[in-house]
Structure 1
Amino acid sequence: MRTSLDGSLLTGIAARLSDVDAARAARYPGDAGGRQPVHTCYVPADRVTGDLPAQWGAAAIEALEEHAPGPHAFAEVLGLPPELAGPVHEKVVAKLTSEPVEDLRIDFEDGYGLRPGTDEDDDAVRCAGLAATLGVPWVGIRFKSFELFERGARTLDLFLTRLAEMPDGLVLTFPKVTAVEQVAALVELLEVLEDRLGLPAGRLRFEIQIETTQSIVDDTGGFAIPRFITEGRGRVSGLHFGTYDYTAACGLSASEQHLGHAACDFARHVMQVSAAGTGVRLSDGSTNVLPVGGRESVHAAWRTHFGFTLRSLTHGFYQGWDLHPAQLVTRYAANYTFYLGNAAADAKRLRAYVEKADAGVLDEPATAQALAMSMRRGMDCGALSPADVEELCGLSESELGRLVRRESL
């Protein structure tokens, strides 16, 4: 057949584009794979004890039994559909008993405050001795921002140097980042620490807290997060939104500083677009409305936290902060409500995609991947079992994993 484009022209352009394709694949490897915690519990370092996870679980169960005893009372407080009352309540109680805390951050920053140097030194060493014994899947520290560089670096150094055992789920949280140079400085410190502690290169990774306006838009008018990720050189594992520092920096009044504000939506959308496809995971922030006091106050706080957690999940933020043991009740209730409520419809679409059936919705591979990832997250958090997923959509756990990776069945 007669054409107008000759082979040498196409070969030359293809060669140039191959470099672009390789760079894009390196920058955007896709989801990191594996389980993501549904929350991070922030606890000031001086309050961390070896039995803290069990304490939080027991306190959460006590709050549930005191303020919403039984499935029906619990469902009424949160407005759960009647068919979910029993399953959600049962799963919440089981989770609070078996694994109440998924991710614990030992806080040396805002929750800890400024203290005499020896006090912070002592707490850093003491917590390093506890880290591997706490029995939580993820654990780490939030050290002070680099506005207090020497103090932040010293606490980080003491904690890592004194670790009796390096936890597999070790996480470092870098707060109040305002400039790409701060990210570069942390990477330099971590490289030196790995060398001097005999750790493999790249072992120490960190999450960046997005809680300053400069971490959204930099002084050139461009988005800052892509530059942070680049300067992190593969060490940035997550972006965590900081509700109150960010909304305060935007000039919002105290009554408007909450997760549902449009200013927070803008910041989260920037985070989402900047991190999409990079393997860097997202976490929403916290609500400071705590479930304490009388029953009415606890119920109101639970409804607030439950609503914000569901809102985060619907916006693609599958992790958030918890500041009080009784918030665990609604953290897990919201996750179970979200995944159980969507499971049947998602499974129907996924089954139709696999079977190439006409189900009234024409899903593409990217949507099938999203459906499979939702099923996987439901299993990871305990809302669904592998048997549940297989019964719903006819896929084994390994087959589901192949769809998550966009591999053919």
Structure 2
Amino acid sequence: MNKSLLIIKREYLTRVRKKTFIISTILFPLLYLGFIFGTAYVAKKSSKVLKVAIVDSSGVFDRGMIARANMQDSSSVLELATDKRDSLVNHFDKMDYDGYVIIPATAKDSLHDLTMVSDKNHGISSIYGVRNKLNGIWSNINYNKLGISEQQRAAIENSKLELNEKNFNDEKADSGLASGIGYVAGFLIYFILLIYGSQVMMGVMEEKTNRIAEVMVSSIRPFQLMIGKIIGIGLVALTQFLLWIVFAVIIYNITKASGNSNAISAVMGEVDKTLSNINVPFILVCFGFYLLGGFFFYSSLFAAIGSAVNEDMREAQSLSAVNEDMREAQSLSFPITLLVIFSIGLMAPVIADPTGDLAVWASIIPFSSPIIMMARIPFGIPGTVPWWQLGLSMALLIGGFFLTTWFAGKIYRTGILMYGKKPSWKEMMKWAFRK
């Protein structure tokens, strides 16, 4: 046991003292936030304001209505064209329009479908903006026909019903908020599984290449060496996660304390309101469990792959040999990586229907439960996720870890001291079930 603790200590201290760990711990949250807000900013800046000519053959559209619509919504600009249709079509390339819409003469009686004609395809959001503005103008025209006053229009608009969902098993459940938390938690576990799982594989390959493993297995069993490496790197991942939580709390408190302006106070008020609607401690505990459980489940398999990658040590220093090893490692680890990718692919339909059969089974099966169960938990327990499902999922994940560890340990025991032969999955299965 003391030898395993030494391996854990060595793996942990070696990695947390590296500059890459410190830099990634600080930069990842900043890059993640920058990606989210940067994408939204670029999308907003790059969205084009379409200028569309309205060719009205019915005479029901007037400049005043269009001008008011443009003032209320700046996502597009509508302009009542003075040119006839044929003239506009023939000289369109010389005009400052992105497209034109023909209002038929029959619009005096009814109007259903319109077509915007342009010389190129525009984004769907831009088209929706033009459509919504035309719908608003057409509604006002119909209100005028029916003699409905401005006050009556406002009353009609304000009488629209809002439907909010309330779970009587979990009064704090909020579908929109739960979806956002589910996506963030799922993607974080996805990235951590792949990044740190690959670190386990690369660490085993490095020790094997440098003959360190041969020295270590002379005084410690290969299984203890593998478990020590997995737990050590797992603690590194947990440390990084806890540091991210600390940074988030510090930034939150600093922002809240310095919120002198009304805008900042309003934003922080919304954040407090949002946090009050979720069980933050419970979600964090579950996240930590599924993060470590998923890591231990997959990293043992990555360790087995790392031990099975072989090279002729006489050629270990050549660049071609190193590249060949990397290709071999990627080839052998692809089925494992595919399971993680498959799990993240299931997340969208699960969040759309968190109580469906797909969501239930995918959150219980060990290979997908770390990502899928964390996508379901924010929707509420025991309302959306019954306690028995959560307990069964956790129990099977723990059992799955022991099973994959046993399986990987059998491969690791044989592969860590084998050189010069490139095994296949078929050969590794023989190692695993060899007595």
| TM-score range relative to shorter protein | under 0.3
Greater share of strand residues, 1 or 2?
1
Q: TM-score of the superposition, structure 2-length normalised?
A: 0.19
User: Structure 1 length normalisation: TM-score?
Assistant: 0.20
The structure with the largest alpha-carbon Rg is 2
Higher RCO (Cα < 8 Å, 6 or more apart): 2
